[in-house]
């Protein structure tokens, strides 16, 4: 009886959550038509792109428990692939699609190889290795001047459909929603449950008869390809690419977004991306008020330390905890009443 | 009776210390065999060798006549050797139901299904609930494993092992650290499995009354060596075993 009632409550809860998500999605679609601030629209576009990137990172960090410091390499591969194709060939849609295919291929291969290495290297050793891999790509982008124009990077023209800011806004929004739905499915599939089991207790997962390494590789490849996709959108939005896409800063952004938003939750990654991008925007604007705001990264550092100390589960995790506790209190109370009555 | 499990000169050394020393046993199918011995006798190490957590420095392990010495623990589980752990070893931040469902899912061979929702697999969930009922945890299904009492975690551990439906069950001190009131429930579960008569069970335990009552045969390990192997009666009357347990035997 109790169990069934609980399930009903849960399904109502899930339904309400879905309704809230749908409303937010509709509001976001309508936003550019209600607000004609161009900079806001560009900022939101940036949020969507980084939300995709942060979700892909969360798949590793939050769901599978793999710490990677080299996630920027997949982002950079996507960014450069599209830039090079648009520059070297023609800025048309077929070439763009070709760049997407190439990005998927390269990121899949690289993430497969890197994922294979998780077999030998655990936790921080693996993190160091990914850092080294990402640096390798950074050096490659710096030195292969004929293709990448070195440190300064290059500008390029994009296909017709990406030129309008409004269209691009909608494309990014839809991409984010699709990635969210896909990953939601993925993490709730039987395979996704095994990934979470690996995060919780790798040895036990093995002794249940799952071969952990294959799951880690799958998570790594899915995450890498999605990060590459985020990179494509990023460089298209700027119409410019330089070596900064391969730097540690990009990985750190993803790390901050997932941890502040809440590890192990997809919506947390999206919220985190929004927060970081907006905070970045506002803090740099405040630079007119006081020069210290020019160094916004200092504030991020402080926020990050505070979050890790006081809200280790991030925004979504903390909210969930509070909800659970209040729910428990309610059930405890009703049980007490039952016992009393 | 057909021999299911066999070890030949099974040995493992950690540096100079020989933890398991040339142990030869053979376990017929559907037998209930207990392993006893003082602390540090190599009981758990022996289990780790059987289940593949450790690989031996010498010797071989046969399962249904097949040499499985080189197989990983994952492969051994798939072949039908499941084990429980002495130190509770569950998935702390997943619910009780999810813990068991993962085991059921593995047993059902659903490993790489990544695009359908887990709720589609109602039968998995039903089966998981069945196992939870068997160990009397059904009203805890939505609790996170980390919030369970110690005894409940042990029960969950056993439910996960049972859910794998393996032919061989390696039970490493299933009642360790449990409160006295909880022990009979676990004993009951083990007895019920035994009565079904379709599983081969190896049990490490310290509670002698429990062992004498349940076992078809008992093997005694001492300093990594197999001291004796026989029916409960033979073991009780065995003088070397007695002196080993009373202390004072030194090779």
Structure confidence at residue A4 (pLDDT)? 47
The Cα angle at residue A272 between residues A269 and A275, in degrees rounded to 5: 155
Interface mutation vs chain A, best among B49, B83, B104, B105, most A CBs within 10 Å:
B105
Task: Verify whether the Cβ–Cβ distance A193 to B105 is below 8 Å.
Answer: yes
- Distance between CA atoms of residues B88 and A188, nearest Å: 26
Q: Which of A74-78, A80-84, A156-160, B195-199 has the lowest mean pLDDT?
A: B195-199
Assigned architecture for domain B1-71+206-251 = 3-Layer(aba) Sandwich (3.40)
For residue A318, give how far its alpha carbon lies from the nearest alpha carbon of chain B (Å). 15
Range with the largest mean pLDDT of A7-11, A225-229, A253-257:
A225-229
- Distance between CA atoms of residues A239 and B74, nearest Å: 49
Task: Verify whether the Cβ–Cβ distance A201 to B103 is below 8 Å.
Answer: no
Spell out which residues of chain B touch residue A218, defining contact as CB-CB under 8 Å. Answer: 112, 114
pLDDT class of A56 with cuts at 50, 70, 90: very high
A184 touches chain B (CB under 8 A): no
Non-local CB neighbours of A6 within 8 Å, separated by 6+ positions: B142
Closest CA to A156 of A95, A77, A222: A95
A341 touches chain B (CB under 8 A): no
Q: Tell me the two tokens of residue A37.
A: 């601030």
A8 touches chain B (CB under 8 A): no
Give the nearest partner residue to A207 out of B51, B117, B119, using CB atoms. Answer: B51
Residues A175-184 have a mean pLDDT of 94
- Strands in B225-230's sheet, in edge-to-edge order, are B81-83, B168-172, B200-204, B32-36, B217-222, B225-230
Domain boundaries, chain A: 41-310
**pLDDT averaged over every residue in chain A:** 86
Non-local CB neighbours of A183 within 8 Å, separated by 6+ positions: A55, A59, A226, A266
For residue A185, give how far its alpha carbon lies from the nearest alpha carbon of chain B (Å). 6
Structure confidence at residue A233 (pLDDT)? 94
Task: Decide if B160 contacts B99 (C-beta within 8 A).
Answer: yes
Residues A304-322 have a mean pLDDT of 81
Task: Verify whether the Cβ–Cβ distance A209 to B116 is below 8 Å.
Answer: no
pLDDT tens-digit readout, A272-306: 999 988 888 888 788 777 777 777 777 778 888 88
pLDDT tens-digit readout, A22-44: 888 888 888 888 877 888 888 99
User: Residue A62 pLDDT > 50, yes or no?
Assistant: yes
**Segment-wise mean pLDDT, segments of 10 residues, chain B, 251 residues:** 83 88 88 87 88 89 89 86 80 89 85 72 84 82 85 84 86 80 81 84 84 87 87 84 64 43
- Distance between CA atoms of residues A219 and A206, nearest Å: 16
- Put simply, whether the predicted model's pTM sits higher than 0.90 gets the answer no
pLDDT-above-70 percentage for chain A:
91
Interface mutation vs chain B, best among A200, A208, A317, most B CBs within 10 Å:
A208
- Which run of H or of E encompasses B216? none
Task: Decide if B168 contacts A207 (C-beta within 8 A).
Answer: no
Residue of A nearest to B111 (CA): A191
Structure confidence at residue A289 (pLDDT)? 78
User: Residue A341 pLDDT > 50, yes or no?
Assistant: no
Task: Decide if A232 contacts A107 (C-beta within 8 A).
Answer: no
Spell out which residues of chain B touch residue A190, defining contact as CB-CB under 8 Å. Answer: 105, 110-111, 113-114, 116, 118, 121, 124
Q: Tell me the two tokens of residue A70.
A: 């080299």
Q: Tell me the two tokens of residue A59.
A: 């798949």
Structure confidence at residue A36 (pLDDT)? 76
ipTM: 0.75
The DSSP line for A37-60 is -HHHHHHHHHHHHHHHHHHHHHII
Spell out which residues of chain B touch residue A212, defining contact as CB-CB under 8 Å. Answer: 74
What is the CATH code of the structural domain delimited by A41-310? 1.10.3470
Domain boundaries, chain B: 1-71+206-251
């Amino acid at each position: 009886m109790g169990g069934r009632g609980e399930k009903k409550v849960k399904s109502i809860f899930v339904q309400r959550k879905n309704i809230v998500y749908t409303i937010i999605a509709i509001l976001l679609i309508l936003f550019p038509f209600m607000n004609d601030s161009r900079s806001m629209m560009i900022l939101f576009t940036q949020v969507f792109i980084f939300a995709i990137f942060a979700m892909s990172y969360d798949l590793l960090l939050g769901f599978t428990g793999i710490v990677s410091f080299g996630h920027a390499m997949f982002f950079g591969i996507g960014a450069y692939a599209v830039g090079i194709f648009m520059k070297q060939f023609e800025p048309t849609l077929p070439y763009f699609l070709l760049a997407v295919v190439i990005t998927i291929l390269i990121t899949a291969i690289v993430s497969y190889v890197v994922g294979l290495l998780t077999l030998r290297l655990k936790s921080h050793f693996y993190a160091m290795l990914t850092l080294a891999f990402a640096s390798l790509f950074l050096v490659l982008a710096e030195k292969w001047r004929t293709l990448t124009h070195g440190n300064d990077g290059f500008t390029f023209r994009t296909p017709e459909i990406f030129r309008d800011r409004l269209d691009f806004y909608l494309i990014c929004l839809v991409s984010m929603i699709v990635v969210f739905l896909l990953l939601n499915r993925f993490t709730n599939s039987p395979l996704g449950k095994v990934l979470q089991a690996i995060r919780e207790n790798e040895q036990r997962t093995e002794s249940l008869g799952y071969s952990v390494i294959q799951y880690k590789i799958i998570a790594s490849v899915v995450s890498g390809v999605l990060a590459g996709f985020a990179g494509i959108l990023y460089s298209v939005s700027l119409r410019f690419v330089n070596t900064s896409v391969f730097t540690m800063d990009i990985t750190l952004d993803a790390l901050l977004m997932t941890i502040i938003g809440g590890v192990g939750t997809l919506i947390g990654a999206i919220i985190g991306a929004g927060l970081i991008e907006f905070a970045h925007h506002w803090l740099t604007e405040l630079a007119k008020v006081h020069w210290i705001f020019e160094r916004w990264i200092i504030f991020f550092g402080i926020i990050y330390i505070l979050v890790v100390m006081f809200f280790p589960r991030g925004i979504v995790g903390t909210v969930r905890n509070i909800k659970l506790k209040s729910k428990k209190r309610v059930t405890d109370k009703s049980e007490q009443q039952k016992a009393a009555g | 009776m057909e021999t299911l499990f066999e070890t030949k000169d099974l040995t493992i050394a950690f540096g100079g210390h020989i933890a398991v020393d040339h142990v030869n046993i053979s376990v017929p199918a559907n037998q209930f065999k207990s392993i006893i011995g003082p602390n540090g006798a190599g009981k758990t190490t022996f289990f780790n060798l059987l289940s593949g957590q450790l690989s031996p420095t010498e010797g071989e392990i046969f399962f249904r006549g097949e040499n499985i010495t080189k197989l990983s623990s994952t492969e051994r589980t798939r072949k039908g050797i499941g084990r429980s752990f002495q130190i509770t070893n569950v998935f702390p931040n997943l619910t009780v139901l999810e813990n068991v469902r993962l085991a059921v899912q593995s047993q059902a061979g659903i490993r790489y299904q990544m695009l359908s929702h887990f709720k589609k697999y109602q039968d998995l969930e039903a089966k998981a609930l069945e196992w939870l009922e068997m160990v009397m945890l059904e009203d805890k299904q939505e609790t996170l494993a980390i919030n369970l009492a110690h005894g409940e975690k042990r029960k969950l551990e056993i439910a996960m092992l049972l859910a794998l439906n393996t032919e061989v069950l390696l039970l490493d001190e299933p009642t360790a650290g449990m409160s006295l009131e909880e022990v009979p429930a676990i004993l009951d579960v083990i007895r019920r499995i035994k009565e079904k008569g379709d599983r081969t069970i190896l049990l490490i335990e310290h509670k002698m009354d429990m062992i004498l009552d349940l076992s078809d045969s008992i093997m005694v390990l001492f300093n990594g060596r197999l001291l004796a192997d026989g029916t409960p009666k033979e073991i009780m009357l065995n003088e070397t075993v007695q002196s080993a347990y009373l202390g004072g035997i030194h090779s």
